[in-house]
Structure 1
């Protein structure tokens, strides 16, 4: 279980920031992974390691993800399955709801994290990453495969597609994704492990 409501909120907002990008890949005819889909449903587990006051903090939880072309709905739960928060991200706003508290709303997820946590998570892309795609530091589209499983994005995230639902499939689907960012002048170091348990 989480140690405090602050840590719960941190996990919820971290997940929201990571799960909120609305980027649609282009020119994926030669993709190595399964074709990109605008609408998907996923569930899985998430572990986040981040630095706070010189100490490493760890957050763990479960998530369910429902993606449509113009929105993402995320439900976050404790490791034991208790719902912690629900999140809705649209092109116009990001909304976080926790239990019987009034929803927190901002124009986008970066603003919501900055207002709530005091620091922003300028991460975009997990809408792509969950399906095995990314935009590399060179601006080129990256389609992961078991043979080519690592890329670094323009904003400094190193993605490693560690395992696959079926690595022998002609177009495999990611199972585990490790994401890491080194500390910089504007951001703390962070590591995230995502395990996709079910995909529909």
Structure 2
């Protein structure tokens, strides 16, 4: 009987040690996320502010600083597309005959939708890392995975981490700031790096 409990204890201990060895250190995780420059996500995006409560499905591809977000369902009118890079952006809503352009995606969102949406920062936040553009405060779990982040007036929380290839990436990202609450529930990550 004692031998059986000893075997179960040693087996459990071995499995726990093996699981811990698979997770990266905080430094390894940060370095790996910094190298991840080409990815795609599919999921559900919810945006709440004092005037709106909108939900849609998003397919988002990021290649270096170029982004392409296809959002279906929100705005009450079918599909929309936001794309661009660090120097320009275009927004196409379902009832428009041509896309509108601006120097930044944030300007487009503010001018045409009345939203303050941090598109250039969110490409880092969605991976569970701070934007390198400014100072931040962050908390991490015992495995080096980001739990919370404060940056540019936004508070972000991360959960439901899953392993994709060699990367641990969040499956649920919640952002609060400027009277907005954004929730991104990622159904699938596709990594191209």
TM over 0.5, shorter chain? yes
Considering fraction of residues, name the structure with more helix. Answer: 2
**CA offsets 1:80-119 (integer angstroms, 9 cap, x no match):** xx95111211232111123462111111112212321356
**Does the alignment pair 1:49 with 2:45?**
no
- Aligned counterpart in structure 2 of residue 108 of structure 1, from 81, 101, 104: 104
Which residue pairs with 1:177 in the alignment?
173
How do residues 1-200 of structure 1 correspond to structure 2 at under 5 angstroms? 30-32=27-29, 35-36=32-33, 37-52=36-51, 57-78=52-73, 84-99=79-94, 101-118=97-114, 120-121=116-117, 124-135=120-131, 139=135, 142=138, 145=141, 148-153=146-151, 155-166=152-163, 171-181=167-177, 187=178, 189-200=179-190
Distance in structure 1 (CA, Å) of the matches to 2:136 and 2:28: 13
Distance in structure 1 (CA, Å) of the matches to 2:31 and 2:186: 15
Distance 1:91 1:170, change over 3 A: closer
Once the two structures are overlaid, the 10-residue window that deviates more, 140-149 or 118-127, is: 140-149
Higher relative contact order (CA 8 A, sep 6+): 1
Q: Output the TM-score relative to the length of structure 1.
A: 0.66
Distance in structure 2 (CA, Å) of the matches to 1:75 and 1:102: 15
In structure 1, the gaps of 5 or more residues are 1-27, 182-186
Q: Output the TM-score relative to the length of structure 2.
A: 0.68
SS in 2 for 1:35: helix
Distance 1:68 1:140, change over 3 A: same
Shift of 1:132: 1.0
Distance 1:170 1:116, change over 3 A: closer
Shift of 1:171: 5.0
- Contact 1:175–1:195 under 8 Å retained in 2: yes
Shift of 1:70: 3.3
Which residue pairs with 1:11 in the alignment?
none
Count, aligned residues: 159
